[in-house]
Amino acid sequence: MSTVEAVKSASLWFKDGSSDKVYNCTLEVDTSGYVVNFQYGRRGSALTSGTKTISPVDRAKAERIFDKLVAEKTGKGYQFVGSCGGITTVQQGKIMDGPVILLTPTDEEGALRFMNNPDFLVQQKMDGVRFFLEWKDNTFTAYNRKRREVPIPPKLMADLRMASLPGECEFLIDGELVGDTYHAFDLVYVYAIKDPEKSLLNVGMNNTFIERFHALKQLFFDDATAPFKEMDHITYVPCLDVARDAKEQLRLMEESGMEGVVFKLKREKVVHGTLGDYYKFKFYNTTTCLVTQVNDQRSVGLSMKQNDVVMDFVGNVTIPSNHEVPQVGDIVEVRYLYYFRGGSLYQPVYLGKRSDLEKSDVNYILTLKEKPKDY
C-alpha cells in the first residue's frame, strides 16, 4: 500500500433522499511524477479506493485529470466540503502472510457453558468487518478476512500517521473496522528486528491469547508513550473474565445493544489453518445472501445456496432510507427471526452490503435457524 501527502485534494458530499455518499480525490506526488487517486462510498462506511493514473504523469496532466474529476462529480450534484489527506491505494493481489482465525458459532447453551468456565475470556462482538492492521517497512497495510489488501479509511489513516513507531519493529493486529474506527481485539505478533533486547517486547503466535492481549494493551494503548493512546479512530476491545451468573450477564449484554460476544480460551495459541478455541454467540440471527432481484419501493429479492450450484429464493427485504439500494449480484447481510422451510426469512432486517465477501461466501440454506414447531 502506498500513501503520500496530497498536493491538491477535494472532499465531496452528495445527499439526496436515501443517498448519502462521499467522494475524495487527491493529486499526489509519486516517486517519478504525479498521480490522481480517489475514494468513494456511503458516508460512515469503509470506502473503496482506486486511481485515475495507472502510472505517474507530469504535473500539468495530473492537474487536468484532477480538475476534470472534480467537475464531473460537482456536475452530478456533489458539494465541495473541504480538503482531505493523502489516499491509500492498494496493491492488487497482495496477500497477508499471517493467519486468520475464524470464529466458531455457538448457541445459548454453549455460551452459558463458556460463561461458567474460568479458562475463557469474553469480548464484545463488534458490528463491523474483519480488519488486520500491519506495520512493516515503515508502512501501514490493511487486510480483510480473506487476507487481501484493502484501503485504510482517511480518518483512521490520519490517526495512524500521528503514531510514533520505530522502523525496526513489525506488528500485525487483528480487529474489526466499524465505519472509520478500528477496534483491535488481538495481537497476532509484534517483534523487534534490530534489537530484540532493548526494543519492543517480542510476542508471537506461540504466545497464548492472554499474553498477546496484555502486550496489545501495554505496547499500543496503555502506556504514556503508547502510539495509539487516546486516538479518536483506533481503540481496543476490553476482555472480561467470565462471571458466575452467566445467564444474567448474557441478558445484560443483550439489553445493552451488543451484537453478540466472543469467547476466547486464555491459553489458546495461534495455529495456522485451524479455527482455535474462539467462539461467537450472536444475540440475533444473521445470514449472508445474494441479491437476485431489485423490486419497487426500496425492496430487493434474496437468494442463498441450496448446494454448491443451485441458489434458492429466500424472500424479500426492505432497504432502510439510510442505505443505498443494492444491485443484483451484491452480497448483503440480513438479520432475521426464523426461516420457514421451503419458504422465506421471517422478519428480515437489512444490515448492509458486504464488500469484503464474494458470491462463494453466500450462506447455505441449511445453516438458517428454522421456525420452532411450537412458534
Angle at 25 between CA 19 and CA 29, to 5 degrees: 170
Residue 361: give the domain boundaries: 285-367
pLDDT at 2 over 50: no
How much is the pLDDT for 91? 55
The last residue of a domain, from among 187, 208, 241: 241
How many structural domains comprise the chain?
Answer: 3
Q: What does the chain come to in residues?
A: 375
More confident position, 270 or 153: 153
Mean pLDDT of 304-328: 91
3-state secondary structure of 181: strand
Stretch among 81-90, 100-109, 354-363 having the lowest mean pLDDT: 81-90
Whether pLDDT at 119 is above 80? yes
- Give the per-residue pLDDT at 94: 75
Q: For residue 201, what pLDDT is reported?
A: 63
Pairing of strands 240-241, 79-82: unpaired
Residues ≥6 apart with Cβ < 8 Å to 12: 22, 23, 24, 25, 70, 73, 74, 78, 79, 80, 81
In a domain, 337, yes or no: yes
181, 206, 241: which is the final residue of a domain?
Answer: 241
Write out the DSSP string of 251-302: HHHHHTT-SEEEEEETT-B--TTS--SEEEEESSEEEEEEEEEEETTTEEEE
Query: What does pTM read for this prediction?
Result: 0.68
Same domain, 78 and 158: no
- Which tens digit of pLDDT belongs to each residue from 169-191? 889 999 998 878 999 999 988 88
d(C-alpha 375, C-alpha 369), whole Å: 13
Find, among 354, 357, 287, the residue nearest to 146 by Cα.
357
Q: At what angle do helices 246-255 and 108-115 cross, to 10 degrees?
A: 120
Give the Cα separation of 37 and 27 in Å (integer): 7
pLDDT (0 to 100) of residue 234? 95
Q: Are strands 104-105 and 120-125 parallel, antiparallel or unpaired?
A: unpaired
Q: What is the pLDDT at residue 1? A: 43
CATH code of the domain containing 16: 2.20.140.10
90 belongs to a structural domain: no
All three cell numbers of 60, joined, read: 500539468
Q: Is the pLDDT of residue 328 over 50?
A: yes
In-domain check, residue 277: no
% of the chain at pLDDT higher than 70: 88
CATH number of domain containing 193: 3.30.470.30
Q: Are residues 13 and 57 in the same domain?
A: yes
- Cell readout for 292 is 437476485
| pLDDT confidence bin for 87, thresholds 50/70/90 | low
Copy the grid coordinates of residue 1: 500500500
Q: Which of 241, 266, 293 is the last residue of a domain?
A: 241
Residues 109, 66, single domain; the answer is no
Quote the pLDDT of residue 37: 85
Residues 232, 314 within the same domain = no
261 domain-assigned:
no
Distance, CA of 110 to CA of 229 (rounded, Å): 35
Looking at the domain assignment, is residue 44 inside a domain?
yes
Q: Specify whether 30 is located in the same domain as 157.
A: no
Q: How far is CA 70 from CA 3, 8, 27, 38, 91, in A?
A: 21, 11, 11, 10, 24
**Residue 152, C-alpha cell as written in the block:** 485504510
Residue 51 lies in a domain: yes
Q: Domain for residue 269, yes or no?
A: no
Residue 303 pLDDT class (50, 70, 90 cuts):
very high
Mean pLDDT of the chain: 84
pLDDT tens digits along 14-36: 887 767 788 888 888 877 788 88
Q: Is residue 122 part of a domain?
A: yes
